Amino acid sequence: MGSQSGNPLSVLILPLIIFGIFYVVMFLPMRKRQKKHQEMLAKLAKGDRVVTSGGIYGTVVSVDGDVVTLRVADNVKLQVARAAIAGQSADAANVNLTPGE
């Protein structure tokens, strides 16, 4: 009883198909999101309302290289890394910053 050796090409087809499906389902959407986020970070400008990855809402006061200065309340400014900006937020201006109200 001899072993049957299949065509080596047919042995590689199934893993290639699985890898192709995995790439389309997992990596393409992730790359699109990453590219969109990088474009948003590159276009940050004074007056943009943003939220940081730490959940802090603020308005961009200035952008100097990789440092973004945010106004989070009256006379309160924070400097954060550009990479810490998670996204733009239309709701950032509507956040109640006065305690007790």
Q: What's the whole-model pTM score? A: 0.64
| Joined tokens for residue 87 | 């996204």
CB 82 within 8 A of CB 41: yes
- Give residue 28's pLDDT: 87
- Tell me how crowded residue 15 is: count the other CB atoms within 10 A of its CB: 9
Query: What's the topology of domain 45-95?
Result: SH3 type barrels. (2.30.30)
Query: Identity (one letter) of the amino acid at 28?
Result: L
pLDDT in the model for residue 12: 86
pLDDT along the chain (101 residues), means of 10: 63 88 88 92 93 93 94 94 90 46 41
Q: Which residue has the tokens 């699985």?
A: 18
pLDDT of residue 15: 87
28 contact partners, CB below 8 Å, separation of at least 6: none
